[in-house]
Structure 1
């Protein structure tokens, strides 16, 4: 078990007993690029996780170690700032959020590692932020609630990684519940759990294996394009409280199509339609109608491909291939785009043949090797008792 290895390595490296924490990655069944537009998302925490061993060390220094990279990094807590060691930036960003709240963070030792594939769009960075935030909250007894820990992780991502992510990734890592997906209203931060039975279907992820260089810059560009749309619509509806695209109707977007311009119009149309798909999909879950849920997934992918323009040849090939296979309820690209994974809902008795067929087709069509992950929905970030890992 990776946590056992990390616990043992911590004691060898630092020489004392740590607090052990597991922080899951996430999938998002539907609701992509809606979170920073104040909309709905439908994520779940999964059994691809980052494991932490953390302890206070009685000094003024943070001693950080990446188990997977076998790299160490040391910094004075009083002098936390971004630099070129990207993996350490995520951790330092979390420390900075505690300091912003006026909490004095003493020196600590931290070792972390896990089995979330990097670059697959499963939110390894959010798991890192939330795992350390949770651990420090426990060790310092600061009693920060989970929603505030999620916001602190998000701010760390903004300020220290330079990615203006929404709240979904951190929220899903902290609020996951076994056997459930959770719909988050990113405007009000209300949330509701929906049962997701893994007896009827399994979640299988297909990793395109590509991470196009466009991803981060285009993500920020999409945010700006949505903000442009909001600014234009605000001028026409000053009496309405339009703050994000969540506050906008499809009719309003259509009415001002010309002024919005083709690109911003399509970005806005996608977000408004995707919010409606999340609500529709949740109703299908309550009715146990996975086929109808899957149709919303296909609609989501088409919108991401054509209107939001964040898909790529590899993702489109994976979704088109999956759609034609037996036992597949739905499939779509997941995450920021330009690479990463597709998420597929597959009948339990068809999972093995699905993986085999997808792997062969990806090789035949694109001459690329496909990695697949069968995932289980798990609970959110938690401390793990030492005896559980022995």
Structure 2
């Protein structure tokens, strides 16, 4: 988010809150995220490498003197009201990300009273940048601040994830919420999804930009294929466990075990598992590249990841493949791959800063020629995580 946009968004949310509730609110900002490498590894207890970005949800909150909850989405132009005693899913969907977090905090023994919220954001919807996680984390952080709940950042991220799993009904891993809460400027987060330990990996090269190309499509296969891939990975683990009971997830598996126990039983399951085990190694090697400022080697690994997602894990789609192929031989693009669950959404690209305008123009034109669809390009700068805003 550039400074002008950030200030305008903050001002708009603040003024809307004052107009609606005649009070001065507490303001919170929570970012979306990208994931540089490590896709579909989170639910296999693997490693991921996300970062918070400079596209945010800005949320204003204030206490009420009753048990009511009054919510207003500035982007949707919609309001919703309920009470703390009636925390149920709404017909509008967007309130669920807020109500689910409130429910989780109450389940964890925290005492809330009624509250008002107004929010807006500049995170592109449907692009795979985790606007829902940003709203959940903004809500948890704001309630923590407003009611002095003394909840640490990991527990806030876990409560936000639980809200999405149990209230909204999306069985996501922790990566999105963790990145939103724990983000740091110019640093990626190497997150171990087995135990939530993490370390920060430097990513600060002024000669490179992270550019996202949005396919502007979301194919209906996404949710069913996601569940199917999880089941296939679990089946692969079960085949290994018959001989190595200590292997609890693909994080513990080796390529040799896959060759010996999975490949003879099911070729498709073998491909899925092979991709995941290789991707975990690829992420670790990629972190070594970044510690040495070897962005070219890191970029090649991004292309390798896309190949695995396309041919082995089979969660890409024609539009994503076209966007990656359009930059594959461009010397200004160090790496590119699909990002997120698949079957649509964005590709993430490492592009030389002085060539960004040219690359965006050429890719946009060629993508339209090949698909008759437009693509939207976003520049993502790595930013700090969820925080209170001062006025």
Q: Give the TM-score normalised by structure 1.
A: 0.96
Structure 1 contact 326–350 (Cα < 8 Å) conserved: no
| Structure 1 match to 2:302 | 297
Superposed CA deviations along residues 202-247 of structure 1, whole A, max 9, x for unmatched, are 1000001001122223222222222222222222212x2x222111
Matched, 1:161 2:168: yes
| Structure 2 match to 1:199 | 206
| Structure 2 match to 1:22 | 29
| Structure 1 match to 2:255 | 250
| Structure 2 match to 1:125 | 132
| Structure 2 match to 1:81 | 88
> What's the offset of the Cα at 1:50?
0.7
Aligned to 1:111, which of 112, 115, 118? 118
Matched, 1:323 2:328: yes
Once residues 290 and 158 of structure 2 are traced to their aligned partners in structure 1, the CA distance between those partners, rounded to angstroms, is: 28
User: Structure 2 regions of 5+ residues with no counterpart?
Assistant: 1-7
> What's the offset of the Cα at 1:198?
3.3
| Structure 2 match to 1:48 | 55
> What's the offset of the Cα at 1:260?
4.3
Matched, 1:152 2:159: yes
> What's the offset of the Cα at 1:84?
2.9
> What's the offset of the Cα at 1:159?
1.0
User: Structure 1 regions of 5+ residues with no counterpart?
Assistant: none
Aligned to 1:339, which of 337, 344, 347? 344
Bigger shift: 376-385 or 223-232?
Answer: 223-232
| Structure 1 match to 2:4 | none
> What's the offset of the Cα at 1:259?
5.2
Structure 1 contact 163–216 (Cα < 8 Å) conserved: no
Q: 1:145 to 1:260 in 2, by over 3 A?
A: farther
Superposed CA deviations along residues 331-366 of structure 1, whole A, max 9, x for unmatched, are 000011111110000011111111111111111111
| Structure 2 match to 1:310 | 315
Once residues 75 and 205 of structure 2 are traced to their aligned partners in structure 1, the CA distance between those partners, rounded to angstroms, is: 31
Aligned to 2:65, which of 55, 58, 63? 58
Once residues 258 and 274 of structure 1 are traced to their aligned partners in structure 2, the CA distance between those partners, rounded to angstroms, is: 18
Secondary structure, in 3 states, of the residue corresponding to 1:380?
Answer: coil
Once residues 110 and 262 of structure 2 are traced to their aligned partners in structure 1, the CA distance between those partners, rounded to angstroms, is: 48
Structure 1 contact 163–220 (Cα < 8 Å) conserved: no
Matched, 1:171 2:172: no
Secondary structure, in 3 states, of the residue corresponding to 1:284?
Answer: helix
Once residues 296 and 279 of structure 1 are traced to their aligned partners in structure 2, the CA distance between those partners, rounded to angstroms, is: 11
Q: Give the TM-score normalised by structure 2.
A: 0.96
Bigger shift: 23-32 or 262-271?
Answer: 262-271
Matched, 1:72 2:79: yes
| Structure 1 match to 2:243 | 236
Superposed CA deviations along residues 244-301 of structure 1, whole A, max 9, x for unmatched, are 2111111111111245412221111111011001001000001111110011101110
Once residues 41 and 230 of structure 1 are traced to their aligned partners in structure 2, the CA distance between those partners, rounded to angstroms, is: 20
Once residues 357 and 374 of structure 1 are traced to their aligned partners in structure 2, the CA distance between those partners, rounded to angstroms, is: 16
Q: 1:258 to 1:203 in 2, by over 3 A?
A: closer
The RMSD of aligned alpha carbons is 1.1
Once residues 151 and 340 of structure 2 are traced to their aligned partners in structure 1, the CA distance between those partners, rounded to angstroms, is: 28
> What's the offset of the Cα at 1:190?
1.3
